Chains A and B, each alone.
Chain A
Amino acid sequence: MNKLVALGLLLLLVIPVVMGAIYTPPTNQVRERGVHRFNEYAYDPRIQYKKLDVWVHLTPLQHPTFARGYPPFFARGTARVQSVRSAYKPTGEVDINVKDLRPSGRDNTYYQAWLYDSDSGYTLNVGQFETMEGGVGSHQYRGSHYFDAYDFVLITREKRGDLDPRPSNDEVLIGKIEHKAFYEPKPLLGERASYGYTYYGE
């Protein structure tokens, strides 16, 4: 009897040690979080809208020439153009950063950013911004458009308080938007469609 009780108590001693060694609580397990939408099994062209996410390098219309010995600093900038061609949630975003422009506080002007379509000649206003000393300025635009048609980012200098909503002739910076076929996934054709391949057009 005593032996049995002692054996039972010994088992009681051994079991939690063994369990602690074997069992790992669920909080201990490493788990990958989030939904993995972009794998080869989940491709659906109906929800893969044409997207655009490019960096545009803004330079003056004519590259300036410098006298010997002068540092080659001239107006320049970058623009990030993002767009989603969705009928229900269209998204157009432009983030502009410029440097070495003329400070706009000196002559009571401001700078205005445009998207330009060279085919139709239409310019879309994406807003005005100032530059401080050093010619540094930045600007953000968020709208419900898609930017498929536009192929240039244009920055002009405008007078303060003018009532003409068209861009002035004083064009400061311009940059080309590269529309890449990568951002427009085409519907799959032929035999490849049944294997889940994706390709991005010609």
Chain B
Amino acid sequence: MFKKLSLGIVFLFLLSSLVVAIHTQETRYAVEQTTIEQRNILFTENRFGQEYVKPLGGYGSKGASRGSFGEKGEEEGASLLKSNAFIPRGRDPSKISNYYISARGYRIINTYVELKPTDLELTSRPQINGTPQGHARVISTKPDDVYMIEGTVLLRTKDLPPLAPNFIYEAWLVDEDTGTSMSLGIFQPSTIGRIASLKYNVVTPLDAFESIIVTTEPFPDEDPRPGPVVLAGDIKEKVVRSY
């Protein structure tokens, strides 16, 4: 009698805890206050719900569907690209991908420029470590997937002396024929090591420019024209190839 009673109570205990576990509302998978039963209904088929139908024939999906003529399937690696803009014709061998009529006649520039100090007395404090110097790579080329010519300048400076708090360094490309200077950006050398790096990227060919300079500018500055020059370097052997 006692055994049966205790067995029954234990069974009841397990059953009740199971019922409690099932019917306790929880917030899971960003679905608020649902029970296991409700979640099972929601997540059984797929995560979009019962009424979701897979799109027909690749419409709206990123890759071409399997079964179309000669195109790549949905599951293949090429279809995992962010967009299908670069494979509009799949494996079609007659596709000419590198032809663009307006892009003829541009010059590729890829040069290395050394910047030397012009006048050390222009800076507010005497130099600490060594002679200020800078190195830059000037690139002007047309990326494969963009029709316009992009210009890139990678600049690094070393041992530029610390400035007064309301001054800052700025880099420029200078065209000596027209006297024009194009700002590449402002930068602060680090306190320890006195090194700085600047990356400049713009959709413009850099054929016209003959030199790179680094100037000191007031900060904040209401006049965007260049100030006194600290470092300067000529861009030599500009053109790598002409197309």
Name A residues whose Cβ lies closer than 8 Å to a Cβ of B. Answer: 2, 5-6, 9-10, 12-13, 16-17, 20, 25, 27-28, 30, 50, 85, 87-88, 90, 105, 108, 110, 112, 117, 119-120, 122, 124-130, 139, 141-146, 148-150, 160-161, 163-166
Contact = CB atoms under 8 A, between A and B. Distances in A.
B35 interface: no
A145 B225 contact: no
Contacts of A124: 182-183, 224
Contacts of B27: 27-28, 30
Contacts of B102: 105, 108, 130, 160
A165 B178 CA distance: 8
Nearest to B1: A2
A72 to B, nearest CB: 30
Contacts of B185: 90, 143-145
21 contacts: A2-B2, A6-B5, A9-B6, A13-B12, A27-B28, A28-B26, A28-B27, A30-B27, A90-B185, A105-B101, A117-B223, A119-B223, A122-B224, A130-B102, A141-B202, A141-B203, A142-B201, A144-B185, A146-B186, A160-B102, A164-B178
A141 B223 CA distance: 21
Contacts of B12: 13
B16 A128 contact: no
Contacts of A117: 223-224
Size bin of chain B's contact surface: 35 or more
Given A120-B223, A166-B178, A161 B186 contact: no
Contacts of B148: 110, 128-130
Given A110-B148, A124-B183, A165-B178, A139 B203 contact: yes
Question: Interface on chain B toward A: helix, strand, loop, or mixed SS?
Answer: mixed
A128 B178 contact: no
Given A149-B223, A161-B106, A128 B204 contact: yes
A111 B151 CA distance: 16
Contacts of A139: 203
B3 to A, nearest CB: 11
A85 B220 contact: yes
Given A5-B6, A27-B27, A165-B209, A125 B223 contact: no
Given A117-B224, A143-B202, A165-B180, 14 more contacts: A85-B220, A87-B168, A90-B185, A105-B102, A117-B223, A120-B224, A143-B185, A144-B185, A144-B187, A145-B183, A145-B185, A161-B105, A164-B175, A165-B182
Given A9-B6, A110-B148, A119-B223, A125 B204 contact: yes
B222 interface: yes
Contacts of B43: none
Nearest to B170: A145
A69 B41 CA distance: 61
4 closest residue pairs by CB, A with B: A144-B185, A127-B203, A20-B20, A9-B9
B220 A165 contact: no
Contacts of B188: 87-88
Contacts of A27: 26-28
Contacts of B209: 165
A183 to B, nearest CB: 13
B91 to A, nearest CB: 27
B5 to A, nearest CB: 7
A139 B148 CA distance: 11
Contacts of A20: 20-21, 24
A45 B66 CA distance: 59
B16 A13 contact: yes
